[in-house]
Amino acid sequence: MPKEMRQERPSFPITVGNIYFCLIKSRNNNSIEYEDVVYSVPTAKTIGLTQNTAEQDIWASGEIYEAMVRTNYATISLSTVSLPQHLVNAIEGAESIDGITINKTSDVEKEFAFGFWAENNDGSYQCFWLPVCKLTPTEKSYATRTADLPDPEVSYSVRGIPYNNIWRIKFSSADAKLYGITPPERQYFAEKFFLSPMYEMSQLQSLISEYRTGTGDASVAFAPLSTTKTKKD
C-alpha cells in the first residue's frame, strides 16, 4: 500500500540542440569500432523518436494471463535545415570521388551512431546516443525560389538498431540529481558526452563519477530490447 503522496511539477522540453554522427568501422558481439571523427551539426529542427514494438496477449483459462510488449527497434524522424553532403553520401553508402557521387540500388550497409541533446524549461537537459543506426532512404525534392524568404527543411528517417539488446543510452541531468550526481551545465557535459559514442555502461562510469556528490546509482537509462510482462494475479 502507498504510504505517502508526492506532488510533482515536471519540466518540459523547449528546444533540441546539435545532432551528432559517427560512422562505424566495424562491430561484433563484443565491441564497436567507430571512426575517428564525431560530426557535430547545429541544424536540427525537430526530432521524433518512435519505439517499434511487437505485442502479444497470452490467453489462459478464458482470460488474458500476460500481455507481452517488446521493443524491436526505433525510428527517428529527423527534420533539419540541411546536413553536410559528404556526410549524407557516407551514411547513404554512396560512392563519391572528385565531386562525383554514385548512388546504387544495392543494400544500405553503412552504419553509424546518432546522438542529440534536448533542453527543458527549467534548465535541465537530456543527452542521447543511439549506438547503431542506418539511414532509411527518403524522398528528396527541389523547388524554385519565390519572393518569400526561405525556411529550408530537409527530412530524414533513421532506424535505430539494437546492439546487445540496447538501442539507446540516455542521460538526464534532472534524474541524476536524485542519485547524488550534480552534473555541470549542459554545454560542458555535452562536450564530454558526445566526444565518443557510447554503447555500454562501463564507458560512462568515469564520466559520471566525476560529478558524484552523494551515494546511489548513476542515472543512465539503457533502453534494452527487453520484454515487458504484465502478469495477472
DSSP letter assigned to residue 150? P
What tens digit of pLDDT does each residue of 181-194 get?
888 888 888 888 99
- Model pLDDT, residue 187: 85
In percent, the amount of the chain with pLDDT more than 70 equals 88
State the cell numbers at 137. Answer: 532512404
Global confidence as pTM = 0.81
What's the rounded mean pLDDT across residues 216-229? 41
Residue 161 near residue 131 (C-beta atoms within 8 A): no
- Which is it for the CA torsion 123, 126, 127, 133, positive or negative? negative
- Model pLDDT, residue 124: 92
Asked whether the predicted pLDDT for residue 216 surpasses 60, the reply is: no
Residue 149 near residue 187 (C-beta atoms within 8 A): no
Asked whether the predicted pLDDT for residue 116 surpasses 80, the reply is: yes
Phi, psi of 125 (to 5 degrees): -150, 165
**HEC-encoded secondary structure of 158-210:** EEECCECCEEEEEEEHHHHHHHCECCCCHHHHHHHHCCCCCCCHHHCHHHHHC
Cα separation, 113 vs 36, in Å, equals 12
Cα separation, 89 vs 103, in Å, equals 9
What's the rounded mean pLDDT across residues 139-163? 87
Asked whether the predicted pLDDT for residue 3 surpasses 90, the reply is: no
Most confident region among 1-5, 131-135, 198-202 by mean pLDDT: 131-135
Residue 112 vs residue 13, higher pLDDT: 112
Residue 67 near residue 229 (C-beta atoms within 8 A): yes
Residue 121 vs residue 183, higher pLDDT: 121
Coil vs helix vs strand at 62:
coil
- Model pLDDT, residue 226: 37
Asked whether the predicted pLDDT for residue 176 surpasses 90, the reply is: no
For the chain, the domains span 13-138+151-227
Cα separation, 128 vs 190, in Å, equals 10
Average pLDDT, the chain: 83
pLDDT band of residue 178 (cuts 50, 70, 90) is: confident
Name the burial class of residue 169, with classes exposed (0-12), middle (13-18) and buried (19+) by CB atoms within 10 angstroms of its CB. buried
Residue 171 near residue 195 (C-beta atoms within 8 A): no
Residue 210 near residue 175 (C-beta atoms within 8 A): no
